[in-house]
Amino acid sequence: IFMYPKNKETSTARNKRIFKEILIYTIIILTAVASATLIRIFILEPFIIPTPSMEPKLKVGDKVLINKLAYKFGTVKRGDIVAFHSPMEEKDLVKRIIAVEGDEITLTSEGEIFINGEKIIENYLPADQNISYINQTIVVGENEVFVMGDNRNNSFDSRFFGTISEDDIFGKFVLIYWPPSRW
């Protein structure tokens, strides 16, 4: 009868092997948690749309990603959708930048917007929305932006709280990640 030799691994060697394996898994898990935390703090922040002010582009409850590095290495531009700390409330908001530093923005009772004397075309607005503004002209100050929601009749924005500081902007909208039907 042929017999296989018994495994001569001692219990001490086996314990060392198990300890090494546990240590490797622990390091992998800690690295993953640290990486996810650093990404969340410095690069991408998940955000839930709290109000219908950006409909139809962004709906209440949409879960989106905000790029926190966008304005660390770039500048704000008209048309960007940004997340910022509200100057009037304790919550963060998401709105579209309509005018930037140095722009003169004029809102008319006919629902038109002029930037530096030129009427702007806003293809992202709902076609069936009847918009009218209070006639006003505002010059956007240094390091400030004028923001508005796309759902103009249901948006608390710069028309009410004024321009916001670029320092209050903490990121730029990247994409909707939930629900999948909105990708």
Q: Which residues are catalytic?
A: 53, 95
| Tokens representing residue 91 in the block | 């919550």
Give the type of residue at 78. R
User: Nearest Cα to 157, choosing from 53, 49, 48, 52?
Assistant: 53
Give the type of residue at 100. V
Q: Cβ(109)–Cβ(13) under 8 Å?
A: no
- What radius of gyration, in Å, describes the C-alpha atoms of the chain? 26
